[in-house]
Structure 1
Amino acid sequence: MEELANLDASALDDIFNNFYDKEEYGDFQVANRNFREIDPDDFLLENENKNTKRKTESDMKLFMSFLMAKNEARLPEYIPPDELNHLLCTFILGITKKDGSEYEPTTIRGFISSIDRHLKSKSSHVSIFKDVEFSKTRAVLTKKQQQLKSLGLGNKPKTAEVLDDATLDKMYENGTLGDGNPRALIHSMWLICTSYFGMRTGKECHDLCWGDVQLCIDEVTGQEFLMYDKERQTKTRSGCNPRDTRTVKPKAFGNDEDTRKCPIHLYKMYRDKRPESMCSDESPFFLTPGGGTQKSWYRKAPMGINKLHNIMNDMKSDANITNSRITPYSSRKRLIQKLQDEGVPANQIVQISGHKNINSINNYSKINNDQSKNISDILSNKISNTHSDLQVRSSTPKSASMTMSDCVRAGDNNGKPPQGLFAYSHFNGNVTFNFNSSISESLSQMSAVTLNRNTSSASGSAVVDPCSPIIRPYKRIRMLPDSDTDSN
């Protein structure tokens, strides 16, 4: 290797020309390449998550004010671990809001996480969540969270609600959704992206380009549909793992019943109302309304990320909706809740929502009011609510839930169990059969045949009398287990 390093460019050319397949790869030349000069620290700082950076700076201002109140002038990265451990414990136990009320448990943990991120950014070799020197801090944090939970905190009172059908209908009625004006059209396109494609509002919608959504035609049926063809950086697929890509591309098909809700109609209209220069593949998808002409409804400028975050507030304002828990995340929650209510399997829902873990959809959905009422009726033993009982137990095989009395009633006139009890039945997985008899006879008595021998009969034949106490004895049959070997 040292000898190759001392060779000049012409000598290296001769070496590669002798061992290089020109017919397959073409001419190869050793030349000086131009490489960009980028400082790694500046690159990392520039590509840091802006929301995380903003929160870290805000939390560190709060912690620095706490240090100043404790007459501590040193920066956190210069404080020895044992002293910093004591200060963090005091900070956790003493921090309150401006009005003196307690913070939420997750908020206090977020403060400590911000301090830990600050220490790492300053090349500190300590870790609050891993080092043994901060075990007391972690113990105090856990106990503080448990104390706040006992006070009724930590229940996420401001969590977003699902965007239900009634709220959507009100938005359509007030013209904030549909194709009537530029604002309504851009709101409808945002709703398609967040509901049909499972996109998160904010950065994901802001980074979306016009060529990322394609208008396609089904080769079999000839039906048009929209396809989310190119996914960019998302929360669950940030690009750290190049192999982690979305395998299923979400689609949105047309709605012939109402053009205001038809993704195909809205997309074509949005395409026609965009400036021609903003229809290239790399053009931003969401444009700012206000083109000023009948042909072009939008400017040649992308919609800001803050505007996309507040787009639900604009929709609520236009529709006179005051529910503060209807947020931009309500549309994404609607996607998951709606599919779950219709019985779509969780493994199919995550392929549209983009979640990596199936259990994550539990944070976006909950049982609806009808399901809650059915459960309450079952627990209340409401016999009249037959429909609710059947709906909850619809997954139970009918033959597996039959009692012995049902079997008897389903037999012939003599009360014998029907032949082929499990005929035409299909069972998946482990199935347990419970045979409960609601009549006085036991199973052996039901299978027994009472006989009354007629002694006066010349033929001596036995006459069956159901009222006779005489019971015909049966031999016990011993079941032999199957052998695992091939030999008899």
Structure 2
Amino acid sequence: METSDSDMEIFITQNIFSQTSEVVINSDFEDLLNTTISEPKDTPSFDIGVDDISSGSDDFLFEASQAIEERIYDNEFNLSNKRKPPGPLLQKQLQPFVPEAVTAENRCRFAEPLTDSDFSKLCNSSYSRNTENKSMWAVRLYQAWVDERKTREGPSGCDLNSNILELAVNEGELNKTLMYFVTEVRNRKGEEYRGNTLYEVIASLQYFIRRNGIQINFYESPLFSGLGTVLDAKMKSLARQGIGIDKRPAAVITVEQEDVLWKRGILGEDTPQKLIDTLVYLIGLNCALRAGDEHRNLRAGPNSQFYLTNMENGCKTLRYTEDVSKTNRGGLKHRRMEKKSISISVNRERPERYLVRLYEKYMSLRPRDGKCSDFYLRPLRFVKDDTWYADCPIGKHPLRGTVGRICKLAGFAGFYSNHSLRATTTTRLYDAGVDEQLIAERTGHKSVAIRSYKRTSSEMEARVDDIIQRKRRSVTAAATVTSTTSSPTFSVCAAPATIEPATEHATVGQDGTSPRDLQLVLKDGVTLSLKF
């Protein structure tokens, strides 16, 4: 194949260069170039010790790269004196830390050095006082049984060691000894303990052993199956004998009984003791406090659980915010638990029972320069115009027995304690049809235990009995009769009548519901029919 001439053509172009060239640069760039050429910097060595970089292993190359970075870092910070010194901020950061001298001003910043006994006291304070006392009572009861058992003739059948911690080292011997203890223990009168009391005694002994570093479980461990069997049989035997069946819960204070307390002057504000009793009653009722330490833990002053707020309508409201309680100890396990907060507003219908006014009066009658932060102070025997209370807290036992004492003065039959106020709050809300969640927010319950505080009233029990036996319920009926003529409307109050439910009609109303009829049979034989 012949090649054309066009394919063989070669195009040659000619470039013409200037004999002279000029580069226009600024002075800063020129100085930089001159400095670089005249004063070369000391560059770090990048020799990694191998001819070919591909011949090194991965670990070797990693170590080599680290070495190169260190050389670059050292070169940057170890240049000649021509490098500018670090600024004042960097100089301050590079200065060594010098501890602050102890002076009179900063001397009280930290607490004094603690001892081992201080740490032990701090740790023990985190436990419930009632639980600690109950466990020590159970230990003393066990020791008393061991001491008396040693004086009895005959074989012991178990290891009678009064030190239960030493006995707990051997689970088998502890199990056998407690089996005898459960069946033989009695109270000071020589009578049988209730079944629940025996259960709490064993639980308290377990708590005491665990508190001293020995982890055991009387109720779930197979090593103590004998104790569980004997305890269960003993509780069932006591129940068959009728021992411990009747519980004695704190009685509920009815609205009629509350009115009696006010009408007879047992509650009021005219004396120091009466004002304290009234505050205990109203605070326990409105805040649903427990009978234990919650009243005792109330404080006055800047860290008080109470504070006053002003509403938009000008009325004052008392706010209570719980800090610690039985279910919220404020520790690690309770740090995210929501605390109970209650607002107590004005009571215009019964101003003598207005808690905010009584609270302000009580706070004004405390010692003005008092140092005691407890809320309830001891009443003075000889009062002054502006001071009714001493600068010291009221006794624990007088405070705990407040409700029982005032109910006894009123002549109420039954068992009343400060815990009756909490039960009264729950029962009143329950009878009024308040939702269980709202009741729990007021009482601070975290579980279904709130249902145990719902006390069925006698009216509700009578209603259930009437329904079962199909009794007629006696009511006082009041009817409003509207005349169809031109005569005016008038009201008729009927005498006590009995309600008889009539048969339901099969017709359906316009709204889709089936109407019903009620017949009121009066004493004079008149029957009043109601349709709804």
Question: Are 2:133 and 1:45 equivalent residues in the alignment?
Answer: no
Provide the C-alpha distance between the structure 1 equivalents of 2:279 and 2:390, rounded to a whole number of angstroms: 16
Q: 1:205 aligns to what SS in structure 2? A: coil
| Equivalent residue letter for 1:299 | A
The aligned counterpart of 1:193 is 283
Any conservation in 2 of the 1:255–1:262 contact (CA below 8 Å)? yes
- Which among 350, 354, 365 is matched to residue 440 of structure 2? 350
The aligned counterpart of 1:394 is none
- Counterparts in 2 of 1:405 and 1:422: CA distance versus 1, 3 Å: closer
Structural mapping, 1:342-421, within 5 Å: 342-357=432-447, 359-382=448-471, 406-408=505-507, 410=509, 421=512
The aligned counterpart of 2:392 is 301
The aligned counterpart of 1:224 is 316
The aligned counterpart of 1:95 is 185
- Which among 137, 140, 154 is matched to residue 58 of structure 1? 137
Report the alpha carbon displacement of residue 340 of structure 1 after superposing the two structures with TM: 1.1
Structural mapping, 1:70-109, within 5 Å: 70-71=149-150, 72-73=160-161, 75-79=163-167, 80-109=170-199
Report the alpha carbon displacement of residue 185 of structure 1 after superposing the two structures with TM: 1.0
Provide the C-alpha distance between the structure 1 equivalents of 2:91 and 2:317, rounded to a whole number of angstroms: 52
Q: What is the number of residues matched between the two proteins? A: 374
Any conservation in 2 of the 1:202–1:305 contact (CA below 8 Å)? no
User: How much is the aligned-residue C-alpha RMSD, in angstroms?
Assistant: 3.2
Report the alpha carbon displacement of residue 16 of structure 1 after superposing the two structures with TM: 12
Q: 1:352 aligns to what SS in structure 2? A: helix
Q: Which has the higher contact order (CA 8 A, sep 6+)?
A: 1
Any conservation in 1 of the 2:374–2:393 contact (CA below 8 Å)? yes
- Counterparts in 2 of 1:222 and 1:96: CA distance versus 1, 3 Å: same
Report the alpha carbon displacement of residue 245 of structure 1 after superposing the two structures with TM: 2.4
Question: Are 2:428 and 1:338 equivalent residues in the alignment?
Answer: yes
Structural mapping, 1:20-31, within 5 Å: none
| Equivalent residue letter for 1:116 | Q
Any conservation in 2 of the 1:336–1:365 contact (CA below 8 Å)? yes
Any conservation in 2 of the 1:313–1:327 contact (CA below 8 Å)? yes
| Equivalent residue letter for 2:361 | M
Structural mapping, 1:103-182, within 5 Å: 103-182=193-272
Any conservation in 2 of the 1:227–1:251 contact (CA below 8 Å)? yes
Report the TM-score, using the length of structure 1 for normalisation: 0.69
| Equivalent residue letter for 2:355 | P
- Counterparts in 2 of 1:29 and 1:216: CA distance versus 1, 3 Å: farther
Q: Once the two structures are superposed, what CA deviation does each residue of 1:219-250 show, in whole Å capped at 9, x if it has no partner?
A: 2x33322111x32210111113111122x521
Q: 2:295 aligns to what SS in structure 1? A: helix
The aligned counterpart of 1:441 is none
Any conservation in 2 of the 1:172–1:178 contact (CA below 8 Å)? yes
Question: Are 2:373 and 1:268 equivalent residues in the alignment?
Answer: no
| Equivalent residue letter for 1:196 | N
Any conservation in 2 of the 1:176–1:183 contact (CA below 8 Å)? no
The aligned counterpart of 2:308 is 215
Provide the C-alpha distance between the structure 1 equivalents of 2:227 and 2:90, rounded to a whole number of angstroms: 63
Report the alpha carbon displacement of residue 107 of structure 1 after superposing the two structures with TM: 0.6
The aligned counterpart of 1:238 is 329
Provide the C-alpha distance between the structure 2 equivalents of 1:309 and 1:115, rounded to a whole number of angstroms: 27
Report the alpha carbon displacement of residue 46 of structure 1 after superposing the two structures with TM: 4.2
Please list every run of 5 or more consecutive structure 1 residues that lacks an aligned counterpart in the other structure. Answer: 1-13, 20-27, 389-402, 411-417, 424-488
- Which among 417, 421, 424 is matched to residue 327 of structure 1? 417
Please list every run of 5 or more consecutive structure 2 residues that lacks an aligned counterpart in the other structure. Answer: 1-88, 102-108, 151-159, 478-501, 515-532
- Counterparts in 2 of 1:407 and 1:88: CA distance versus 1, 3 Å: same
Q: Once the two structures are superposed, what CA deviation does each residue of 1:48-79 show, in whole Å capped at 9, x if it has no partner?
A: 33322222222212211222344324522222
Q: Structure 1 or 2: larger strand share?
A: 2
| Equivalent residue letter for 2:278 | S
| Equivalent residue letter for 2:165 | E
- Which among 181, 188, 205 is matched to residue 295 of structure 2? 205
348-357 or 209-218, which deviates more = 209-218
Any conservation in 1 of the 2:147–2:162 contact (CA below 8 Å)? no
Q: 1:203 aligns to what SS in structure 2? A: coil
Provide the C-alpha distance between the structure 1 equivalents of 2:253 and 2:261, rounded to a whole number of angstroms: 11
Any conservation in 1 of the 2:376–2:393 contact (CA below 8 Å)? yes
Report the alpha carbon displacement of residue 409 of structure 1 after superposing the two structures with TM: 6.3
Report the alpha carbon displacement of residue 37 of structure 1 after superposing the two structures with TM: 2.4
Q: Once the two structures are superposed, what CA deviation does each residue of 1:260-301 show, in whole Å capped at 9, x if it has no partner?
A: 2111221222122222224x9x83221111162022111111
| Equivalent residue letter for 2:227 | T
Q: Once the two structures are superposed, what CA deviation does each residue of 1:83-135 show, in whole Å capped at 9, x if it has no partner?
A: 11111111111222333332111110111112212222332243323432111
